[in-house]
Structure 1
Amino acid sequence: MLNIDKTKPVLVTGATGYVAGWIVKRLLEEGVTVHAAVRNPGDAAKLAHLDQMALKLPGSIRYFKADLLDEGSYAEAMQGCSIVFHTASPFRLDVSDAQKDLVDPAKLGTQNVLQTASKTASVTRVVLTSSCAAIYGDCADVANTPGQVLTEDIWNTSSSLQHVPYSYSKTVAEQLAWEIAKQQTRWSLVVINPSFILGPGLSTQATSSESFNFVRQLGTGT
């Protein structure tokens, strides 16, 4: 059982994503009303798996249009919510413009969501999906860690716009999240730093992902 106030809705950003989909499923199982923030609420095919879960499970779901780079676009979705799960962030390893395609959506999107949380009286907790990539990039980041144990005091210092920009985007986004959280006292910030995520999919629309591509490369030696 989740220790959660079921009388208030819970916001999940990037609700059509892989991690977000499982969060939505868990919340629906607990009978929670989920506010799902997506780029296009009219895309029935992309939302079909979420709709099907909502029909079978005790909770309910409402869709809200929001964009990481559209300041204030999460305000409506966040109204009345006590908890915000911020999972929306691009996960692509092959990009032509790292600043535009990765860093801006990750960093400015986090700023957008968290600043909206600071303006929304009902919010008491924000859960940010970061990554182990924010802790370490290359071996240089872990070579001199005390006891060879990674803690919240360790940050990725080896990644940049030019070198593993995805890891850099997760690093600067999480650092900004902590900065914003420290500027207020009403809501608390919890950060999750998962590593390689694999598992069954919830959507038949998702036929590939960076995780699948990575496994494929391991298998083919490319």
Structure 2
Amino acid sequence: MRIEIDTSAPVLVTGATGFLAGWVVKQLVDAGATVHATVRSPEDNAKCGHLKTLSNTGKGKIILFKADLLEDGSYAEAMKGCRVVIHTASPFITNYNDARKDLIEPAVRGTKNVLNTVCSTPSVERVVLTSSCAAICGDTIDCQDAPDGILTEDVWNTTSSETHQPYSFSKVSAEKAAWDIA
């Protein structure tokens, strides 16, 4: 199935230097869209150089905006005029000191910050929130207990925690926070 992309208004992609976001940005730019891409450090060419190159070679363009998952309101400027917000930003690190501070808080607060900004931005008509299968299934028991063996939006990862699979727990927590706002 091919989806037509409305290029008449910019599209916001959070966490644009991430793996998934990078491919989303590329598809949008190839379709001729203007992408408002949020990153932590727009001046960091090591992390943002590929986005600048893509902006110069694609049919669309990329405008970089500085935003921080933990800073309330930091997505407001990037979101102005956007009809679609694609929220992909979330920390994915394996070498952390404090799971709550380094993974869980940024995932949850970041999702809340983005969605609260959506609620106060009249131009936004649609939100796409990317998550992970980790929000559904942590340990095998989560999958085994799924009704009729089918994983749906009603199935949640119940085995992950701050101390056991904290990345997975961050994804569950962020997605539940999003549902609370929706």
- TM-score, normalised relative to structure 1: 0.79
Partner letter of residue 148 of structure 2?
G
Q: Corresponding residue for 1:47?
A: 48
Alignment map for 1:170-209 (pairs within 5 Å): 170-181=171-182
* Contact residue 81 and residue 124 of structure 2 kept, 8 A: yes
The whole-number CA distance in structure 1 between the counterparts of 2:59 and 2:141 is 48
Is the counterpart of residue 102 in structure 1 residue 121 in structure 2? no
Q: Corresponding residue for 2:4?
A: 3
The whole-number CA distance in structure 2 between the counterparts of 1:110 and 1:19 is 16
* Contact residue 5 and residue 28 of structure 2 kept, 8 A: no
* Contact residue 160 and residue 168 of structure 1 kept, 8 A: yes
* Contact residue 85 and residue 128 of structure 2 kept, 8 A: yes
Is the counterpart of residue 25 in structure 1 residue 26 in structure 2? yes
Q: Corresponding residue for 1:165?
A: 166
Is the counterpart of residue 119 in structure 1 residue 120 in structure 2? yes
Q: Corresponding residue for 1:78?
A: 79
How far off is 1:179 after superposition? 1.2
Structure 1: 5+ residue stretches without partners = 182-222
Q: Corresponding residue for 1:59?
A: 60
* Greater shift in the superposed pair: 4-13 or 43-52: 43-52
* Contact residue 36 and residue 65 of structure 2 kept, 8 A: yes
1:129-170 Cα distance to aligned partner (Å, 9 max, x none): 100000010112122222211111100010000111100000
* Identity between Structure 1 and Structure 2 (%): 59
The whole-number CA distance in structure 2 between the counterparts of 1:94 and 1:38 is 21
* Contact residue 73 and residue 117 of structure 2 kept, 8 A: yes
The whole-number CA distance in structure 1 between the counterparts of 2:163 and 2:66 is 32
Larger Rg: 1
Q: Corresponding residue for 2:39?
A: 38
The whole-number CA distance in structure 2 between the counterparts of 1:56 and 1:64 is 19
- TM-score, normalised relative to structure 2: 0.96
The whole-number CA distance in structure 2 between the counterparts of 1:125 and 1:60 is 21
Structure 2: 5+ residue stretches without partners = none
The whole-number CA distance in structure 2 between the counterparts of 1:122 and 1:5 is 14
The whole-number CA distance in structure 1 between the counterparts of 2:88 and 2:124 is 16
